[in-house]
Chains A and B, each alone.
Chain A
Amino acid sequence: MIVVRAPMRISFVGGGTDLPDFYRRSPGRVISTAIDKFVYVVINRTPLLDQVSARYSVSETVPHAKDLKHTRIKAALLDLGIEKGIEIASFATLPSKTGLGSSSSFSVALMKGLHAYLGRKLDKGETAEAASRLEIELVGEPIGKQDQYAASFGGLNVIQFNSDESVDVDPVLMDYKLRLALENHLLVFFTGVTRAASSVLTEQKSNIDKKFDTLREMADTVEEFRDRLLRGDFKGLGEVLHKAWLKKKTLASNVSNPVIDELYETGISHGAWGGKILGAGSGGCIMFLVPPEKHAEIRKTIQAVAKKHNLTDFREIPIKFVQSGAEVLFNGDHFHRLSM
């Protein structure tokens, strides 16, 4: 048995510039951090069973990998030539489609684990590349590749996407005081609304030509965000987030909606310096950059707004940053190789 985990992430600025239609014309850039919420993938070898099992929100057992419904597990197994005799299960700290990048964290953990199953070890770059290829090329999802890199590398990084498909991951080297101070300035709430990123990104993708200059400004904002972060200028960071959120809302008609706008306004009018929706938009989590003394007030007022809109699953999600990326936590598959 092999156990792999990969962290979820929060992205600060630059989302959308990781789509190929943008970075093939101008370098894409995002700044994001891995957080203490994880997706776990467990892979078990069942050489005596002529079947494949996949266990996620549903449980599938089929004779051959090609019969699976789960698009990514199916595509990954077929691509790697694993047809049967395997069980794959996934677990996570939080449900999917919350805007914390969990679907790519899953792909990253899956690819790292399947290669380990084949006796191969992938480094961080190879893992991110394998997961991006799986999602974008093999399954054909209309998504970018920032989340695969964030999950594979861990830590807080500036990630740059180049026109030749290469990716540079530049860690932002903060000491623990700065890191904990940033954590203490963030408030994250799950809106209670889940959505697939692809539903927003499909429209956003078709708008790239029209919105090219806006996207380029968003990629440029990443440097400003990093500089202010390293100076500990949290108010300035909030203002950068706020401006970037206003820009992001123009990228597609469904990035925001009246309920999200009201939640956001509630945070801003009660002391937040800035914020954004995490993930592609339309639901998921809302994050604020707030001085710590304003946290209690925002918690109270925003809960009331959520209640008014019947967002029954609305709740705060406490966040800590992690350095961990995709990691094989346990590999008991050696025994298989010893005994066979």
Chain B
Amino acid sequence: MEEFIKSFADKVRASLENLPSKEIAKALNILQAVYERDGRIYVFGNGGSLAIATHWVSDFNKTVFSHHLDKPARRFQAIRLPTTEAELTAWANDVGFDMVFVGPLKNYLQDSDVVVGISSSGNSPNVVKAVEFAKEHKVPVIGLSGFDGGKLNDLADAKILVPTPKDEYELVEVVHTAIFHLMTVYFKDYFDHLVEREAAQK
């Protein structure tokens, strides 16, 4: 048992030690820019990736600003797609599963927005389809992928690839979660710092 646990932990550790830091930095810049122009962030993925998207949206919209929620400051507007199960099943049942993200995205997407696609294989057809739509509209794309990155990594502007052997979903998802938490903590620290600087200047 010890050995099994250690071997999993070793794999996670090795992946964490090789985070694609330059691409993560690019993603942080993209998020900074969308905040400055008051645009929206649309996040999506399948299964575990959708759960990660949902978790991150709540952190990014609230936890980032948790030290000064009373301030009327502008916040992030991160939105998980689709926003309801009703919409998810309507697209999947009536039109096709490849439409569940691009369908809602077509309703919402504006030039000032950003898209975050999550797919361990990088080849989920519904994720790729939504990302292709965003690219057509010249909207910046942050792509979180695993394995060999697949099409998502080719298309993304910020190519956050966690390279792993094929089918190691758990490993990819653990590291994706860590990266999303990193983004949350980064902006939480940043806004804390801005508030402190503002107070010091008064």
Asked whether B29 lies within 8 Å of A173 as measured between CB atoms, the reply is yes
Asked whether A180 lies within 8 Å of B197 as measured between CB atoms, the reply is yes
Known: A121-B111, A121-B138, A176-B190. A171 touches B33 (CB 8 A): no
Known: A176-B193, A177-B193, A329-B37. A323 touches B110 (CB 8 A): no
**Interface residue total, chain A, C-beta cutoff 8 A:** 20
User: When the two chains form the complex, which single residue of A116, A122, A323 contacts B36, counting CB atoms closer than 8 Å?
Assistant: A323
Q: How many contacts between A and B, using CB within 8 angstroms?
A: 46
- Name the CB-closest residue of B to A122: B138
Interface string of A142-181 (1 = CB under 8 A from B): 0000000000001100000000000000010101110010
- Name the CB-closest residue of B to A154: B33
Interface string of B173-198 (1 = CB under 8 A from A): 00000000000001001100110010
Could you tell me the distance between the alpha carbons of A125 and B153 in the complex, rounded to whole angstroms? Answer: 20
- A residues near B26, Cβ cutoff 8 Å: 171, 173
Asked whether B22 lies within 8 Å of A327 as measured between CB atoms, the reply is no
Q: Is A322 interfacial (CB 8 A cutoff)?
A: yes
- A residues near B138, Cβ cutoff 8 Å: 121-123
Q: Is A281 interfacial (CB 8 A cutoff)?
A: no
The main secondary structure of chain A at its interface with chain B is: loop
The residue in B30, B112, B189, B194 that gathers the most chain A C-beta atoms within 10 A of its C-beta is: B112
- A residues near B83, Cβ cutoff 8 Å: none
Q: Is B93 interfacial (CB 8 A cutoff)?
A: no
Interface string of A314-333 (1 = CB under 8 A from B): 00000000111101110100
Interface residues, chain A, with chain B CB atoms under 8 Å away: 116, 121-123, 154-155, 171, 173, 175-177, 180, 322-325, 327-329, 331
Given contacts A121-B138, A175-B25, 12 further A-B contacts (CB under 8 A): A155-B29, A176-B190, A176-B193, A323-B29, A323-B30, A323-B33, A324-B33, A327-B112, A328-B111, A328-B112, A329-B37, A331-B110
